[in-house]
């Protein structure tokens, strides 16, 4: 596919761009300050910032290009509405790492038996939004409005623990993203399934599995 990649020089983007090319896609990187011209692209991928991402996605939809959004902290509802209006797809995964999706699924299962939960999410200090999109998605799956604790420190990539406390016992479900290669298979899966999704917004890698 012909792809426009917003944020190709970022921590995720610079791992993703060569991986997409190795998978046979043609990638055009669009960085900060570049004109948002996605003419001829089959899809756009955004891994930028909450401030930039919404404008990038809107501009792509206005140019009739469907979008895969990795950027977290965006207000996706208006973008989903615009996409639906134009018969286009916007796909967002709060976390493109398969192990993280399984962590959320297992946490949802555990919550049925151990409802007292709290979430600790730990990310690199460069991550601007808190709590993380994954933590918010996990909280809504677990239910009961669990407290979310956000840690931002150098050295971290993306990590999350869901702790379930019961009388005399503690269950911890933990996922660690150790490098940004973890996000590549999820993005490739989203590209593969993009044409099969209904117009408008679809959220979550689990919807593609
Ligand atoms: P990062 O290293 O800060 O990279 C962000 C990139 O966006 C930078 O290269 C920046 O360019 C670029 N950028 C900023 N404004 C732009 C604009 N208007 N147009 C085009 N590019 C622009 O961040 P990251 O760690 O790669 O993460 C990027 C986003 O993805 C964050 O929101 C993060 O939370 C999210 N993320 C999501 C997942 C997931 O699985 N969903 C996984 C990891 C990260 P400059 O270099 O010029 O500043």
pTM across the whole model: 0.88
**Cα 19 to Cα 39: distance, rounded to the nearest angstrom:** 22
Active site residue 127: yes
94 pLDDT higher than 90 = no
Cα 166 to averaged position of ligand 1 atoms, centre (Å):
39
The finding on whether 10 has its CB within 6 A of some atom of ligand 1 is: yes
Q: Which two tokens stand for residue 1?
A: 């596919």
Q: pLDDT-based confidence at 133, cuts 50/70/90?
A: confident
Give the contacts of 199 (CB within 8 A, at least 6 positions apart): 83, 84, 86, 87, 88, 89
Strand partners, 30: 6
The label of the residue with tokens 């979550």 reads 204
Q: How far is CA 95 from CA 44, 61, 110, in A?
A: 17, 22, 20
160 CB near ligand 1 (under 6 Å): no
3-state secondary structure of 150: strand
Q: Which of 127, 159, 175, 193 is catalytic?
A: 127
pLDDT at 82: 98
- Output the CA torsion sign for 170, 141, 48, 183: positive
The pLDDT assigned to 209 comes to 86
Q: 127 CB under 6 A from ligand 1? A: yes
Give the tens place of pLDDT for each residue, 29-48.
999 999 999 999 999 999 99
Ligand 1 atom closest to the Cα of residue 124 is: 25
Instruction: Tell me, yes or no, if 123 is annotated catalytic.
Output: yes
Q: Whose CA is nearest to atom 22 of ligand 1?
A: 32
Protein residue whose Cα sits closest to atom 19 of ligand 1? 32
């Amino acid at each position: 596919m012909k792809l426009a990649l917003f944020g190709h020089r970022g921590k995720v983007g610079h791992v993703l761009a060569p991986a997409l090319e190795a998978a046979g896609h043609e990638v055009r990187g669009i960085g900060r300050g570049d004109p948002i011209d996605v003419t001829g692209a089959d899809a756009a991928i955004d891994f930028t910032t909450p401030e930039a991402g919404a404008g990038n996605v809107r501009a792509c939809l206005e140019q009739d290009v469907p979008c895969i959004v990795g950027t977290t902290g965006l207000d996706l509802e208006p973008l989903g509405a615009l996409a639906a209006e134009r018969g286009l797809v916007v796909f967002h995964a709060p976390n493109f790492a398969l192990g993280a999706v399984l962590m959320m699924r297992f946490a949802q299962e555990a919550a049925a038996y151990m409802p007292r939960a709290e979430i600790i999410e730990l990310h690199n200090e460069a991550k601007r939004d808190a709590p993380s999109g994954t933590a918010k998605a996990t909280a809504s799956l677990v239910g009961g409005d669990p407290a979310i604790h956000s840690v931002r420190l150098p050295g971290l990539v993306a990590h999350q623990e869901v702790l379930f406390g019961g009388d005399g016992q503690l269950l911890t479900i933990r996922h660690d993203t150790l490098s940004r290669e973890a996000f590549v298979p999820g993005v490739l899966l989203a590209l593969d399934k993009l044409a099969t999704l209904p117009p408008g917004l679809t959220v979550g890698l689990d919807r593609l599995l």
